[in-house]
């Protein structure tokens, strides 16, 4: 990780590739541990939104090791494409999917969310997880995500959040800035750097792009019936919307 990445708050494809390259092997376990077991709940809520739309095709963007994509395959009949900018994360996802026998309905594509390698309006639904902190222009990326969803199709996302009440925020800061890096260090140096990066990255994201502004950005991207659910005392948020006709 280079100093310039941290100064720029890590909003570049190159930064994301470097950050995630050494993480896949322990990603699933440490992802759950660092979210204090909440990631699985948030994911379920996100996938609830997708499967309720009864899609036949789903694109899962920033799919990483395919945790969300695999859950969608298991919970509905859809064919799912998992796309991510990190070849290492995708490779881990591919071998997990193969081991679970999910190969036939789950395929993988290397690609950048800012310029997806798909034509307009080809997917019935689209999910994305922990993505917008890594792109320089979240509005442009949201517009690009909405582009590949058919009119009436569903979009849903999951991201960390910062609790609003000052008491909870103080506890959240103590955890993310103090405890999380120490727990992450158990995974090695690369994980320690992630542990130190996450708290400031999440705070900076909401300073730059508060939740209300995000809801507006979803609407400007061509989505309606936009809603969100803040979960786990404010530590996570699931958002959803429907592609305009």
Q: Which residues bind ligand SAM (CB under 6 A)?
A: 13, 16, 20, 31, 62-65, 67-68, 84-86, 89, 112-114, 129-131, 134-135
Beta bridge partner(s), residue 59: 81, 126
Cα separation of 82 and 110, whole Å? 8
67 vs 187 by CB, closer to ligand SAM: 67
124 vs 159 by CB, closer to ligand SAM: 159
Residue 66 has phi, psi (to 5 degrees) of 70, 20
224 vs 229 by CB, closer to ligand SAM: 229
Nearest distance, CB of residue 130 and ligand SAM, angstroms: 4
Residue 154 has phi, psi (to 5 degrees) of -100, 140
62 vs 72 by CB, closer to ligand SAM: 62
Nearest distance, CB of residue 184 and ligand SAM, angstroms: 13
6 vs 244 by CB, closer to ligand SAM: 6
Q: Confirm if 127 and 62 have CB atoms less than 8 A apart.
A: no
Angle 92-94-99 from CA coordinates, rounded to 5°: 95
Nearest distance, CB of residue 166 and ligand SAM, angstroms: 27
Cα separation of 126 and 165, whole Å? 32
Q: Which residue is nearest to ligand SAM (CB)?
A: 64
37 vs 151 by CB, closer to ligand SAM: 37
* SS3 label, residue 198: helix
Nearest distance, CB of residue 245 and ligand SAM, angstroms: 27
Cα separation of 158 and 35, whole Å? 13
Q: Confirm if 73 and 80 have CB atoms less than 8 A apart.
A: yes
Cα separation of 106 and 65, whole Å? 12
Q: Confirm if 125 and 153 have CB atoms less than 8 A apart.
A: yes
Nearest distance, CB of residue 185 and ligand SAM, angstroms: 18
Cα separation of 9 and 120, whole Å? 31
Q: Confirm if 190 and 88 have CB atoms less than 8 A apart.
A: no
Nearest distance, CB of residue 195 and ligand SAM, angstroms: 13
Nearest distance, CB of residue 181 and ligand SAM, angstroms: 16
190 vs 244 by CB, closer to ligand SAM: 190
């Amino acid at each position: 990780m280079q100093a310039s990445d941290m100064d720029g708050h890590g909003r570049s494809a190159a930064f994301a590739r470097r950050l995630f390259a050494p993480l896949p092997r322990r990603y699933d376990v440490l992802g759950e541990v660092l979210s204090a077991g909440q990631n699985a709940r948030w994911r379920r809520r996100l996938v609830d939104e997708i499967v309720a739309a009864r899609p036949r095709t789903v694109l899962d963007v920033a799919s990483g090791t395919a945790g969300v994509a695999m859950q969608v395959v298991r919970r509905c009949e859809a064919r799912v494409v998992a796309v991510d900018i990190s070849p290492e994360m995708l490779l881990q996802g591919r071998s997990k999917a193969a081991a679970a026998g999910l190969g036939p309905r789950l395929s993988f594509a290397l690609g950048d969310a800012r310029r997806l390698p798909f034509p307009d309006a080809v997917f019935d639904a689209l999910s994305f997880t922990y993505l917008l902190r890594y792109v320089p222009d979240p509005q442009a990326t949201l517009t690009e995500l909405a582009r590949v969803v058919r009119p009436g199709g569903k979009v849903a996302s999951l991201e960390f959040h910062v609790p609003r009440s000052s008491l909870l925020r103080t506890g959240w800061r103590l955890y993310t800035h103090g405890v999380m890096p120490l727990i992450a260090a158990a995974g090695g140096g690369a994980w320690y750097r992630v542990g130190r990066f996450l708290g400031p990255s999440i705070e900076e994201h909401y300073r730059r792009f508060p939740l209300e502004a995000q809801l507006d950005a979803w609407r400007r991207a061509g989505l309606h019936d936009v809603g969100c659910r803040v979960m786990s005392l404010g530590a996570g948020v699931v958002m959803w919307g429907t592609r305009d006709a």
